[in-house]
């Protein structure tokens, strides 16, 4: 049988690194993609094909997909994992930074899907796995741009699933909860920089503290739980549309469904100590 081929973006750490390793264990030929090739050296030593690509560089994405097809003749799985969290009050975050957040978290994801779909349609098979977040269903103070991108990924994925089902292409959304990666600390750094000297600095102090506490929480899961869910999804002929995994994901989504919007607002304001601020 022909070895199946997978492409994973944001593969230099965390969920992307763990997913790359899991798919390789399952027998896929895996192309691991990230901006910094040096951070993928360990993956390369294991025989995984690493590519230094900025997912917002259209020409680089086109060349990447062309290379994969040229070398293997197929592409079976795409895991859109690249992304980051841009935090700060809507009032404070420059629109240029908001556009960059959408460029990385939404438009790069959509462009890669555009590039691989013709090949998946020709195969009459394929899996598009979009790593969203519980943040695609819930909201937090000072996270408007980040949550906007994840809500967008959810809606894009739902529409896409209906569009491509007839061609044998499966679309799966992954909704991680609190996962032990670099993401939380980087997001906290962004938040503190954006909020310094602004009326939102006290909110920012609590929210960034909550983000930084993620790694120490007993509720936080390792990235392997996400990688395992992705591995399970791409081996199923009929995967679930969504996998809420790790770090209290199911509990927080259940709470959000149970409460009214105003009720969840109160829950979030209390959790982040923003009442009356």
Tell me, yes or no, if 84 is annotated catalytic: no
Q: Is residue 226 part of a domain?
A: yes
The reply to whether 132 belongs to the active site is yes
The active-site residue, picked from 4, 137, 150, 170, is 150
Mean pLDDT along residues 228-250: 96
- The predicted model scores a pTM of 0.93
Q: Can you tell me the mean pLDDT for 220-229?
A: 96
Q: Is residue 21 part of a domain?
A: yes
Catalytic residue among 12, 144, 195, 208: 12
Give a yes or no: residue 58 inside a domain.
yes
Active-site hit among 28, 31, 146, 200: 146
**Of 95-104, 145-154, 205-214, which gets the smallest average pLDDT?**
205-214
Q: In terms of residue numbers, what domain contains 261?
A: 5-271
Q: Is residue 190 part of a domain?
A: yes
Domain assignment of residue 60, yes or no:
yes
CA–CA separation, 258 and 238 (whole Å) = 28
The CATH number covering residue 38 comes to 3.40.50.720
The secondary structure of 145-191, three-state, reads HHHHHHHHHHHHHHHHHHHHHHHCEEEEEEEECCECCCHHHHHHHHH
Average pLDDT for 200-221: 87
Asked, for residue 31, whether it belongs to a domain, the answer is yes
277 part of a folded domain: no
* Predicted pLDDT of residue 274: 58
* 276 falls within a domain: no
pLDDT of residue 275 exceeding 70: no
Q: Is 49 helix (H, G, I), strand (E, B) or coil?
A: strand
Total structural domains in the chain? 1
């Amino acid at each position: 049988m022909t070895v199946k081929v997978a492409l994973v973006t944001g593969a230099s750490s965390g969920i992307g690194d763990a997913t790359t390793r899991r798919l390789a264990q399952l027998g896929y030929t895996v192309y691991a993609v990230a901006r910094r090739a040096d951070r993928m050296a360990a993956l390369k030593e294991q025989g995984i094909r690493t590519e230094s690509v900025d997912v917002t560089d259209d020409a680089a994405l086109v060349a990447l997909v062309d290379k994969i097809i040229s070398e293997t003749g197929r592409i079976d799985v795409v895991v859109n994992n690249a992304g980051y969290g841009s935090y700060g009050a809507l009032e404070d975050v420059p629109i240029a930074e908001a556009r960059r957040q959408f460029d990385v978290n939404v438009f790069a994801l959509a462009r890669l899907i555009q590039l691989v779909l013709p090949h998946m349609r020709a195969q009459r098979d394929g899996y598009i796995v979009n790593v969203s977040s519980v943040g695609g269903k819930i909201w937090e103070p000072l996270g408007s741009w980040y949550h906007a991108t994840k809500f967008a990924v959810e809606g894009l994925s739902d529409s896409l699933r209906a569009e491509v089902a007839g061609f044998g292409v499966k679309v799966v959304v992954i909704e991680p909860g609190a996962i032990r990666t670099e993401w939380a600390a980087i997001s906290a750094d962004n938040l503190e920089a954006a909020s310094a000297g602004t009326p939102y600095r006290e909110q920012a102090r609590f929210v960034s503290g909550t983000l930084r506490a993620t790694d120490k929480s007993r509720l936080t899961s390792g990235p392997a739980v996400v990688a395992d869910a992705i591995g399970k999804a791409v081996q199923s002929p009929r995967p679930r549309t969504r996998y809420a995994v790790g770090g209290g994901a199911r509990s927080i989504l259940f709470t959000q469904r149970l409460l009214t919007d105003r009720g969840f607002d109160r829950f979030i304001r209390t959790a982040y100590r923003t009442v009356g601020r």
